[in-house]
Every structure is written in C-alpha cells, then in structure tokens.
Amino acid sequence: MKKILIDAVSLLSPLTGIGRYTYEISSRLRKLSADKYEIFFNYGFHSKELYGLSDEQTTTEQKAKKLQAFIKKYPLLKRLVRSFYLCFTKFYKTEYHLYFQPNFIPNSNIKAKKLICTLHDFSFMLQPHWHTKELIAHYDKNFFLIKKADHIITCSHFTKQEIVDYMHIADEKISVIYHGVNHALYKPYLQHELEETKTKFSLPNKFLLFVGSIEPRKNLLTLLKAYNLLTSNEKGKLPLVLVGFKGWKNQEIMQEIEKNQEYIRYLGYVSDNQLAHIYTLATLFVYPSLYEGFGLPPLEAMACGTPVVVSNVASLPEVCGDAALYVEPTDAMDIKNKILAIVNNEKLREELSQKSKAQAALFSWDTSAAMHLELFEVLLKEIETK
C-alpha cells in the first residue's frame, strides 16, 4: 500500500486559514483513500493520528500542542527547534510515495518520490511588513524549495497568475482547487438554536461583524476609521463585533478597540459552533482585507445567509461573485457608505442574503478533497510508469 505524508504542524496551533484547510482536506482524504493508501501526518514526528478539532484529545496531542504553544512564545527557541528538526529529519529512514505540504515550504529532508505544495498567496513577498521578521527570514531562506515540487496547488486563479508571474512556473504544473465550506456547520440557524451563543457573548439584536486574525493585512484600522464615521446614534444601534485569533503587530488596533469599547467588542477566538452562530446572528459581515489568496470568512458568512461587504481586490471578487457589495479597502468613507446602504435597506439585505447562500453552495470541502485526491493519484501513477 502506497504511503502519503501530509505536513500537519499547523494543526498544533489554534486553527486559522491554513490550519482549517489542512484539517478539512486531511480528514476527508483519510476517508476517501482508506482502502488505497496509508496516510501519515507530520507534527515534527510522524503519526497516523489526525489532530485538530476533536474535544477528546489524546495525551500525545495535548502534549504536542502545549509544547508548540510554549515554543512559539520564544522566537529564538523556535528557530533553534526548527534547525534541530531539519537536522533530525535527515536520519528518517521512511520513504513516502508522496509528500503533501499544505503550508507553502516543504521539508527538504523528507524522502518522497513525489512532492506537492500548496501556495496560498504572496503576501510575504509583496507586503513583508505584514509579517514577523522571523517568518520573512524563514521564507527568504527557504522559499526556493517550493520549486522542487512536482506540482503546486493554489486556491484561486488570481494566485495562480501570481505564481506564473513571480515564479515563472509552467501553467500545467499548477492546479487551482478552491477551498470549501463545511455546510453542515456554516448554515442559517433557527432563532432558538442561537440563544445560548447570543447569551454567552451578550450579543445585541443587530451588529456588524468582522472575523479574522487581528493583524495588519486584514485592514482593521481602516474598518475602525470607517466605523467611527458613523454617528453615535448609529453606532449605538449597530455595535461592531470582532472575532479572531490575536495575531501580530496589532498594538495600535487593540488600542483603538479599547478607546471605543462602548461600541466595539473583541471576542477573541471562539469555537466553530459559536462562530457559525455569530455569523447567523450578525446583521452584516464586513471584510475590508487588503489582500487574500482566497478568503474563507466571507464565504462562511455567506453560507449562513449573512449579507457581506468585502474589498474589491485580489481573489475576493473571484470567490464572492455577485453575492457581495464591494468596497475600496483604503477608502473609509466608501466602507461606511456601503455599510449604511445595506443596514438601511431591508430589501437589499434580503437580496444579498439569498445570493450569498447560492454563492457559498458552489464551494465544498468534499469537492476540494476529491480534487486533491485525483491530483495525488495522477502523480502516483507516474511513479508506476517509471
């Protein structure tokens, strides 16, 4: 039976976009290929156990996640551990038929006949100030390893064109496979199903919602500026709720939230079920990101039937289609006007809600995983013919 290794280090941290993608694809690949392939996961050690969303974590998973959290607190320690790990993997004896790296840069010491990498975006290159110095140093040193891949997956045609332009990789070596939505989770809920979450977070009947890491790329300072253009009366009727992992370079953002805590609330990281409920409860979802390779939160909000305002840049128009209202992300007045246009127009809200559900229905993790497996099998067959 052929052996496949999937890098799953991103599952040791609270799940953001790449971790979500890794988990959703990995969990489905295991089911789709159970009788064909042995699938292993790399957490710094190799295991058949998939970490991620289960509330019933094994002792090994708990220890691995606690160790990862400790290491991430100290950049120097993180660099030392990464260097040690790369050195240690030189002595791995297992050779895999296929190694899948869903998070950009592969480990060059993993022994595999075929290598597939997913390249999500070029923010590290186009806007390095959005990231930590440590991350940029890592990418500067190791990004070339992606060119060793037999095939590259990306999540939008927008990013595929960037790969062609910036890396000069042949078109036929790049596959666009869209991310998906977990429609069993992200869907419209009945009011009585939402009460527990609404009460837990003391959510008002109407509110604006942003979901994403609190970091520069998400353009939160412009969103906060746009929100502050509303009158006190308008803000009182429509508080702004922020949900997401506390990222980096966010001191100024957090200070602005603190100054406006009468109208703005930061809930932090919430569970998936709670997030689905919060999407449904929201009057409007606002996502003025400056750059996205795909953009999962707008699609999740759409699946819940929530009207969406998003930036008119990068991959977002490709993903959201005609189901969103678009804004110029650097124009606070435009964002403010589009917010009011939807909030004050019930007919438009209902129209966008219906379009949102239809657009989100086009994206499925099941379809995405099946397309990944189809690509894997093409490369695995190439091994047999050699």
Q: Would you give per-residue pLDDT tens digits along the chain (386 residues)?
A: 899 999 999 998 877 789 999 999 999 999 998 889 999 999 988 899 998 765 556 666 666 666 666 666 666 656 666 665 566 566 677 899 999 999 999 998 899 999 999 999 999 999 888 888 888 888 999 999 999 999 999 999 999 999 999 999 999 999 999 999 999 999 999 999 999 999 999 999 999 999 988 877 789 999 999 999 999 999 999 999 999 877 666 778 888 888 888 999 999 889 999 999 999 999 999 999 999 999 999 999 999 999 999 999 999 999 999 999 999 999 999 999 999 999 999 999 999 999 999 999 999 999 999 999 999 999 999 987 76
The torsion of the CA quartet 278, 283, 289, 294, rounded to 10 degrees, works out to 60
Helix (H) or strand (E) holding 339: helix 332-343
Contact 8, 50 (CB under 8 A): yes
Q: Calculate the CA 239 to chain-centre distance.
A: 25
Domain boundary assignment for the chain: 2-180+365-385, 191-360
- Report d(CA 223, CA 332) in Å as an integer: 7
CA atoms within 13 A on the CB side of 285: 32
- The pTM of this model reads 0.91
Helix (H) or strand (E) holding 135: helix 133-142
Two tokens at 281?
């409860």
- Report d(CA 276, CA 188) in Å as an integer: 8
Domain 2-180+365-385, classified CATH 3.40.50, yes or no: yes
In this chain, the answer to whether the domains covering 2-180+365-385 and 191-360 adopt an identical fold is: yes
CATH code of the domain made up of 191-360: 3.40.50.2000
Nearest to 123 by CA among 17, 224, 242: 17
- Report d(CA 234, CA 241) in Å as an integer: 15
The residue written with tokens 């419209």 in the block is 188
pLDDT of residue 170: 93
3-state secondary structure 167-202: HCCCHHHEEECCCCECCCCCCCCCHHHHHHHHHHCC
**Phi, psi at residue 160, to the nearest 5°?**
-60, -40
pLDDT of residue 79: 64
